[in-house]
Structure 1
Amino acid sequence: MRFEHVISTIGFVVLLHAAYQTIEYRTHLKLHDQEFDYPPVTVLLEVVGGFFTCLWGGLIMAGEPLPIKSAMDDQHAEQIDFRPDFINLNTRCRALPPKKVS
């Protein structure tokens, strides 16, 4: 396994452990007839640590960012606004009654 995959896996394991610890804490409170207000501070710190570990692994996996190409200078305004992928020819107009000419 590569380093970034190991880091991300460690982060996910830490998050899963925090979830398990919260479930166990709630079960303990139910056995002693106490209300659940918020999880313990250790669980919150574990969630924050796991989140940032996953984030770090994901950022390492992504690699270097690609530069933004400035090819927009060569195009005219008509070419930029024309997007044939978004032309919708199947509308509901045929379901409407035709207009009566008076």
Structure 2
Amino acid sequence: MQVYHVENQTAAYSRLVKIEVDSGVKETVLSHAFKDWNYDFEMVEFQYDNQMDAYRQIQSLQLESSEEEKILEEAKRKWGSDFEMVLFEFENELEAYNKYMS
């Protein structure tokens, strides 16, 4: 069991050090992940991957109205660089708005 854990941590660390931090977003996300998880490299990698996936989804949104833009901006204001929460809040608020409007 201990060997398995060490191997997983080592593999995660190896992948993390290969990340090309070529933007402020990546740097911020990676910094927050290390702050949250310290030397649990598997969890740092997990959080980094999830946050970057959410960031890419946010960047690819096709906003169709000024209301959608307002909802997204409010989620960004509330959650900052926690992109998973920005996306979660945006999707939930948009769903609620659409139900209210129909």
Normalization by structure 2: what TM-score?
0.28
Q: Which has the higher contact order (CA 8 A, sep 6+)?
A: 1
Query: Is the helix fraction higher in 1 or 2?
Result: 2
Normalization by structure 1: what TM-score?
0.28
Q: Which structure's CA Rg is the greater one?
A: 1
